[in-house]
Amino acid sequence: MFVSENLSVNAAGHLAVGGVDTVELAKEYGTPLYVMDEQVVRKSLRLFHDSMNKHYGGRGEVHYASKAFSCMEMCRIVASEGDGLDAVSIGELYTAVKAGFPMEKVGFHGNNKTNEELEYAVEVGVGHIIVDNISELHRLEKIAAKKNAQPKIMFRIKPGIDAHTHDFVRTGQIDSKFGFALETGEAFEAVKEAVSCKNVSLFGLHCHIGSQIFDIAPFEEAAKVMLGFIAKIKNELGYEIEGLNLGGGFGIKYVDENDPKPFEVYLEKVSEAVKAECEKLGLKLPKMFIEPGRSIAGPAGITLYTVGARKVIPNIRTYVSVDGGMADNPRYILYGSEYDAVVANKAGEERNEKVTIAGKCCESGDLIGENMPLQHAESGDIIAVCATGAYNYSMSSNYNRLQKPAVVFVNNGKSRIAVKRETLDDIIRNDI
Ligand code: LLP
């Protein structure tokens, strides 16, 4: 009935999440409101790390990609599950540090890290830094020497797999701002240089082939390409790469048509591919890292809005306007992303209308979606947009000087605030 398994209709006919009535949540905390179901986050993390243990003999780590949704409470939950973190900026690192996250389980990413970010990452002792380009390698070497440290690094490699076409393809030379190219020899030259660096320790290779991917084959193919490169490094330089990071990208269900494979199947297939390839190439099994973001945070979240205006344009469409929009969910205006929505206080009724849910920003494209099946929505109703846990709060803005919504976690029938709603004074806090 709903795209996310944790949603149900309670005795009052209201939408419930994690055993909590969403209409009550809207009353208590106001709207727009991000709601995260703690049990869904934990269950998804466990599915990933348990499958890693089962199919890859525990020789791996799950690093939650915190760009999908980062706040201190999320970091604490991930830490309590024993998983690691992928951080992509000094802000995400700082959030993790302040939450008491074990920094040795953090991988630090970024295609254009500043010196300030690299220095901070070395100071707080991140587990490894994923180096994206040669200038970063040089800058990191200097920083490490100055700080008398020897950070572990991985190299981000472009494996030349395009997973976003209908059937994935291998392209000769991919056009991407991320990582070192294999085909041109750029990656190999960088490895040669890194193995002789005194101040960094080349520990692994990393690739990430995209996001919201449903096929498993491109992940298997990427793993094979990476292992081929690891074998070349071993054979030609006599250097053993110990870590293989396969990134994130596992698709989730936003609308009924989406059909993601269970995470366990993904890990089983990829583990098999890695094991078979290592045997073929005579390599030791590398420690495997994965960086799921959307698949951990996405299905755990919903956003609650209050309906304001309803505008029927005869023979064209009906607009149902809500008190949020592109400032709290920019994914429709950016990518045309689809979502499922429910009138929370009429969740037991049929969705017998098709409407456009519009936001409140001064911009025609500010929509949550078009042609969305919905119960008849009127002013004062509460609309829940489903599967908004990833890349909504983390991509939110103050456009039109709107205040960012609060984030609430629900767990077994209880709710608690994790991020406070911004106040009007927050809006002007840096104004002089
Ligand atoms: N690792 C790396 C290096 C990444 O670049 C990403 C996402 C991830 C892991 C996590 O991927 P996930 O499991 O979440 O697919 N804003 C876009 C998504 C951008 C993803 C960027 N990188 C969206 O809203 O769809």
How does pLDDT run across 33-75, given as a tens digit for each residue? 999 999 999 999 999 999 999 999 989 999 999 999 999 999 9
The residue whose CA has the least distance to atom 5 of ligand 1 is 208
405 CA to centre of ligand 1 in angstroms: 22
Name the residue of 61, 62, 67 to mutate for ligand 1: max ligand atoms within 8 A of Cβ. 67
For 109-292, which CATH superfamily applies? Alanine racemase (3.20.20.10)
Distance CA 186, CA 244 (A): 19
Atom of ligand 1 nearest to the CA of 211: 15
pLDDT-derived band at 167 (thresholds 50, 70, 90) equals: confident
393 CA to centre of ligand 1 in angstroms: 14
Q: Among this protein's residues, is 207 annotated catalytic?
A: no
293 CA to centre of ligand 1 in angstroms: 6
pLDDT-derived band at 171 (thresholds 50, 70, 90) equals: low
Tell me the C-alpha to C-alpha distance, in Å, between residue 367 and each of 274, 332, 357, 370: 43, 6, 6, 7
For 343-385, write each residue's pLDDT tens digit.
999 999 999 999 999 999 999 999 999 999 999 999 999 999 9
67 CA to centre of ligand 1 in angstroms: 7
Average the pLDDT over 191-196 and give the result.
96
pLDDT-derived band at 172 (thresholds 50, 70, 90) equals: low
Distance CA 326, CA 44 (A): 27
pLDDT-derived band at 330 (thresholds 50, 70, 90) equals: very high
Name every residue whose Cβ is closer than 8 Å to that of residue 194 and which is 6 or more positions away in sequence: 131, 137, 153, 155, 200, 202
Pocket of ligand 1 (CB under 6 A): 65, 67-68, 86, 109, 208, 211-212, 247-250, 291-295, 331, 390-391
CATH for 7-37+299-427 is 2.40.37.10
pLDDT-derived band at 320 (thresholds 50, 70, 90) equals: very high
Six token digits for residue 103: 């920094």
For 204-254, write each residue's pLDDT tens digit.
999 999 999 999 999 999 999 999 999 999 999 999 999 999 999 999 999
Q: Can you give the residue ranges of every domain in the chain?
A: 7-37+299-427, 109-292
